[in-house]
Amino acid sequence: MEQKDDIILQVRDLSVSYGHIKALREVNLEVRKGEIVVLVGSNGAGKTSIMETILGVNTPDAGQVTFEGRDITKNPVDKNVRGGMTLVPEGRGVFATMSVLDNLLLGAHHELKTAGKKLNFVFESFPVLGVRKNQLAGTLSGGERQMLAIARALMSTPRMIMVDEPSIGLAPIVVNSIFDILVNLNKEGYSILLSEQNVYKALKCAHRGYVLETGRVIKEGRAEDLLNDPAIREAYLGA
Amino acid sequence: MSATLSNYLTITAIFILCTWAIYLPYRMGQLHFMMIANMVISAYLGALFSGAVVSGSQVQEAINLNLHWPFILTLILGVVVSGLLGYLISLAIGDAPCFAVVIVGFAFMYLTKAIAENTTALGRTFGMFRVPRIVEGLSNSQNRLFLVCVCFFFVLLVGFWIYRFDKSKLGRAASSVFVDRDLAVSLGINVKKMGSLLQTASSALGGLAGVLYLYTLRAISPSFITFHNVGLFMTMLFVGGYTTQWGPLLAVPILWGIPLIMPESLQVWKNVFYAVILIGILMLKPEGVITRPLLRRLNNLVFKRRLKPAGSGKNLS
């Protein structure tokens, strides 16, 4: 797979605590332009904490986050979203009692002037959302909700999308189509930081990966190499 | 226009404004009762600046500003001071959870009441009275009619503003905070700024209602700050429907009007009447009578909207 050297996101020695619990310990990672980078690890490994801290939801104890060369470590979430990054949260996070259209427009909260253009793009990319735009988001199927969450993220015109466990609770056939969407988005030029427990699927579609355990990066490398690593195969793929 | 009818209409209009003042912060899940304190503060300010008096025994210690400001100036003063107070408090509780906002609201209500009841210059428990008419030189009947028109003008004005707000990106963002605060934050919605905006608007609206109330009763006393009034406005909001601005328009005239036409012997039971209605609605229609799905159905029924076909560009799915 082709890789470019321009670093879009760099995380240096990032540590985060929730009270006395250390969630992240000196995590280092980077995402280059046009890459899909996957964070793999079991529950509680710190995948969501990394994404939330990069976005600005959590305040780190130590470390630095730079996005496109700018230090964003202490930026609030709204500033980071305006700056070009977005998060597709875990659990197909949509506003169930609001319409599909309202959900999408919320994604463009900071740039509503160009929302019409972006809506056209999103409806062209996900025709099912166009058909269901006046329906309540809570009435969509699991796969459609995940599509909506991804489409909403696109509405903010991001350059990097963080996707937190997109396959959780979805049928295998739907998981395949969600991963196809992510690969297609990457081909369109979006950099993607993906967290996933479905290690095989994630590493198959990613360029590089980081393996997390109890808040530390224990291994990193090209996705292909990680997929062939005997320790990872044994721990996560049961082989 | 009879005094009874004009009194019913003006108080209805004022209570619609009060209920909207509670509706606004509740758009993002905050029950903010500071508007009641602001209502009384702006009414006292209006009384002081318009040349109202206190009871005879306290006259010596009364503040005699001798200003005799006209209605419009006292109105602007009340709205600005209340909005400013609401803004300053919102800097601390803009993103606070509902329960904390309720506690702060109650604290301010009873703080305001305690100060008013113990300040001789404000007439202590008797309050201030003999507020000038809204327009001097008109007859009683003309004055009442003018006041009704002024009150409903503000209902229209505020109603239009809330309508525009609800349809705007800020209204949508407020709804998203109500539905799922954490998810809204992850989309970059600044909950504190949103809370600050809505609490300030609520307080300013309380100030507006306070000055109108002052000129309707031509008196103000600390007795307006009661738990009964909190319950009354909440009943009006929750019975009418808290998810749209139209709920209070339906509930206030009915809930305020029915006790007025009750036989006198039943008047003492009016709080029971409110409580029964509130409990009934919360059990049967928890979102109130007028809800968004109801409006959507009505909208579809009237306009028979058709969906546009989706675009035919590159399909990522």
pLDDT in tens, A15-60: 999 998 999 999 999 999 999 999 998 888 999 999 999 999 999 9
pLDDT at B69: 92
Whether A19 is covered by a domain: the verdict is yes
**Residues B52, B250: contact at Cβ < 8 Å?**
no
Beta-strand pair A160-164/A191-196: parallel
Q: Per-residue pLDDT averaged across B284-308, rounded? A: 82
Taking the C-alpha atoms of residue A94 and residue B63, their distance in angstroms, rounded to an integer, is 57
For B269, other C-beta atoms within 10 Å of its C-beta total 13
What is the band of B198 on the pLDDT scale with cuts at 50, 70, 90? Answer: very high
- Side-by-side strand order, sheet with A21-32: A21-32, A7-18, A62-67, A70-71
What is the band of B57 on the pLDDT scale with cuts at 50, 70, 90? Answer: low
Taking the C-alpha atoms of residue B229 and residue B235, their distance in angstroms, rounded to an integer, is 10
- Interface touch B188/A98, C-beta < 8 Å: no
Chain A residues whose beta carbon lies within 8 Å of the beta carbon of residue B176: 95, 98, 106
Coil, helix or strand for A51? helix
pLDDT at B139: 86
Residue located via tokens 């409990």? B279
pLDDT at B65: 66
pLDDT at B121: 87
Tell me whether A1 touches chain B (CB under 8 Å). Answer: no
What is the band of B146 on the pLDDT scale with cuts at 50, 70, 90? Answer: very high
At A237, list the tokens: 């793929």
Whether A139 is covered by a domain: the verdict is no
Whether A219 is covered by a domain: the verdict is yes
CATH number of the domain that A164 lies in?
3.40.50.300
Residue located via tokens 């992510």? A182
pLDDT at B243 > cutoff 90: yes
Name the more confident of B104 and A169.
B104
- Interface touch B317/A81, C-beta < 8 Å: no
- Evaluate whether ipTM surpasses 0.85: yes
| Dihedral (Cα; B255, B246, B82, B76), 10-degree rounding | -100
What is the band of B316 on the pLDDT scale with cuts at 50, 70, 90? Answer: low
Residue from B311, B131, B92, B152 nearest B215 by CA: B131
pLDDT at B61: 60
Coil, helix or strand for A188? coil
Report the residue from B172, B175, B311 with minimal CB separation from A130: B311
- Interface touch B311/A156, C-beta < 8 Å: no
Whether A127 is covered by a domain: the verdict is no
For A191-204, the pLDDT digits (tens) are 999 999 888 889 99
Overall domain count for chain A? 1
Residue located via tokens 């109890």? A214
- Interface touch A105/B172, C-beta < 8 Å: yes
| Helices assigned H by DSSP within B64-139 | 71-93, 98-118
Report the residue from B179, B307, B310 with minimal CB separation from A134: B307
Whether A228 is covered by a domain: the verdict is yes
Residue A57: closest CA among chain B residues belongs to which residue? B186
For B18-32, the pLDDT digits (tens) are 999 999 999 999 999
Q: Which residues contact B164 (CB under 8 A, 6 or more apart)?
A: none
What is the band of B56 on the pLDDT scale with cuts at 50, 70, 90? Answer: low
pLDDT at B305 > cutoff 70: no
> In terms of residue numbers, what domain contains A169?
4-92+160-237
At B253, list the tokens: 């005239």
**What distance separates the 2 farthest-apart alpha carbons in chain A?**
51
pLDDT at A2: 45
Residue from B219, B224, B221, B215 nearest B74 by CA: B215
Q: How many residues does chain A have?
A: 239
Taking the C-alpha atoms of residue B182 and residue A237, their distance in angstroms, rounded to an integer, is 33
- Interface touch B310/A125, C-beta < 8 Å: no
Report the residue from B169, B175, B188 with minimal CB separation from A112: B169
Taking the C-alpha atoms of residue B142 and residue B14, their distance in angstroms, rounded to an integer, is 19
**What distance separates the 2 farthest-apart alpha carbons in chain B?**
82
- Interface touch B172/A124, C-beta < 8 Å: no
- Interface touch A133/B307, C-beta < 8 Å: yes
Whether A64 is covered by a domain: the verdict is yes
Q: How far apart are the first and last CA of chain B?
A: 66
pLDDT at B113: 96
Average pLDDT, chain B: 90
Distance from CA of B195 to the nearest CA of A (A): 15
The segments of chain A whose pLDDT lies below 50 read 1-4
Whether A109 is covered by a domain: the verdict is no
Distance from CA of B123 to the nearest CA of A (A): 48
φ/ψ of residue A208, rounded to 5? -140, 165
At B274, list the tokens: 């409110």
- E strand or H helix that includes residue A18: strand A7-18
Whether A172 is covered by a domain: the verdict is yes
At B73, list the tokens: 């100036």
